[in-house]
Structure 1
Amino acid sequence: MAANTTAGNAQTPPPKTWRKSAPTTNHRTPTDNGNTTLPLRKHPQTEFDIVSTYRSLLAQDPDLTKPVAAIESLIELLNAVPSTTVYETLDTVKTHCERLKASVDNPVPLTAGTDLFLQYLISSLKQPQNHQKPHHQQHNDDGFDAVRQHLLRNGRLFAARAIAARAGIAEAGWRFVTDGAAVLTHGNSRSVLAVLARAAATSSGGPGKFRVVYVRDEARAAESDAVVAALRRTGIPVAEIPGAAVGHVMGLLRQVDMVLVGAEAVAQNGGIISRIGTFQIAQLASRAQIPFYVAAETHKFARKFPLDQRDIGFEQKVLDFTTGASCKQPVDAVDYTSPVEHTDQEQPPELISNLITENGVHLPSYVFEQLLEIYGSLNG
């Protein structure tokens, strides 16, 4: 591929979603001895169903990713549940984070979002104190209330920035799709679709300048139909193949020039947790020396380091041995693709060529650097 794998060719991406905001007027942090508290609010404690809120947000807005939906659910929590102290509020948020993660089969994408929100909240509380008033005249609730109101006013900004990040990915990645190329993909990644649509719209040779090989998932036939239809509406020629034909098309026929997939979460070593089948596609691409690119927003970066498929962190019953008429397969099964394939060779073959993010195109090691910058530590 002749594509430049640096971020230099991409236009300036939108500001990073998760950075410390400017100090808010009257911000106040807890004192070093930890005794600063907020006064009791005159509202009764109410029950908040964060699980139903999360599911409702995903159903209402198909452009929301799981991490952002988790963040918006926590913002709704702050709006609905009155707080008494900063520390009690943080404890409430953490409790609901655990409740939300326990409600899904794959908690890693939600963990990426909830960790990011907690870090943002804690960082906001650590903003410089307001020195305009003498210390004894400052209200104890100034800092947290200002942050709380700021988060509530700007709740939809989180989702808007996530969508802007997707546009940044499209801008950074479309140049990889060259004239005459055949791009293999699978799943329903909105970032991948954005890259392909941007490439089709930008091509001097017209939308048909490249082709897409789409790997169908018959367990999600309606989803596969929708993705193929969306690609064809933009003028992109699409060939549909079953998963069993990937090795034949990629290796024997040599009719694939690059692979482009999305991810549900990105581990701190640059590996991805994605739709099941991604791992074997990456292995086949590596053996055929075909570039393998991952399009993912930075809010999907998670402080997790799986060692292999058995270390993803949650149980998946992919094997269902039975003597009955049929067996059950998990609907949302995922697998883990490490940046490199661990073999006995001195130079293990790379499985992931580059990550395409809203901040440009980077090597997998970029994830570790970003997480360290955001959290300061990866101990979780």
Structure 2
Amino acid sequence: MRLWGLIRKESLQILRDPSSIAIAFIMPVVLLFLFGYGVSLDAKHIPVGIVIEQPDRETQSLAGAFERSEFFSPQYFSVIQTAQKALDEHQIDGIVWLRSNFSAQLLSNSASPIGVIVNGVDSNQANITQRYITGTWQAWLSHYAESRGQSLQMPVSVEQRVWFNTALSSRLFLVPGLIAIVMTLIGSLLTAMVVAREWERGTMEAMMVTPLRRSEILAGKLIPYFVLGMGGMLFSVALAVWQFKVPLHGSFWLLMLSSALFMLVALAIGLLISIVAKNQFVAGLLAIIVTFLPAFILSGFLFDIHSMPSWIQFITYLVPARYFVAILQTLFLAGDVWSVVLPNIGALLMMALFYFLLVWRKFHKRLE
């Protein structure tokens, strides 16, 4: 009965506090729409200059291939100097140079009939632009050789198959990982700031003199926010599936289990922060620094972990969101791949036990 009374008290406090509802339900909507529609790792409609020194049927055919591609917005130049000036002025991101001897060298073993110049200021964009140009050129060259009844001699024949995300849409990659970021903020920020607020207002001291045991106080604090956090998670998943059309190939109940474990880890971290920092501003700042920033940068949500230096990769093992992002991306895009899901669930379980042990040791029913 005492535990139920405390849970009821916390639930009423949540309902009377608009900021808690905003963090749990409004913030996921803002973040999901911001990243789902405003952030894209796809490169489309790249402004590229096509220099045609001697127009003929072949050059027009190749230029048409760039026009039909959704990846390019071609601009035409007759001399390379004008195109280079446009590249210097950032009007275009790359140049495809069709020299005057383009048709003569086509399908021959002599020097390459086209030249490619790419703006390398943004190395990632430059690599994407170069690969797209190369792919468009090779596809057109193969089609041209086939239309003339000739065979295209290439040292390697590549047959590409894309698994799990056939459209290569960055939205399908970002939205599942964003659920981990949302749950990190909901779990850690809610408990850190709300409990710290009770220390500031003096209500925590009043609770200390009640007959409530330490375990009942901790459970009474965690259960309402666990339910609120899981509600925010379900709301985020519903948005991901129905609004952003992200397929959920894995088990829904496995998603619930892993989400519950991650929510417990986030809540324990938030509660630990509130015990150490009994000020709302300090607790909120610590929650962002300790949970949100590592989850955003070091979880694999936005940046590939394997591309990081080895010592940074080691640090990522200390970030709970790393394991949850791997689970989310696997369950949404690939399905129930147990060799991926089970080790990450095990890591979250160990982290939950570790942080709750710290909370138990740090939380005392006395004023210090």
Using the size of structure 2 for normalisation, the TM-score is 0.31
Tell me which structure has the larger Cα radius of gyration: 2
Task: Return the TM-score normalized by structure 1.
Answer: 0.30
Q: Tell me which protein shows more helix as a share of its residues.
A: 2
Name the structure where strand makes up a greater proportion of residues: 1
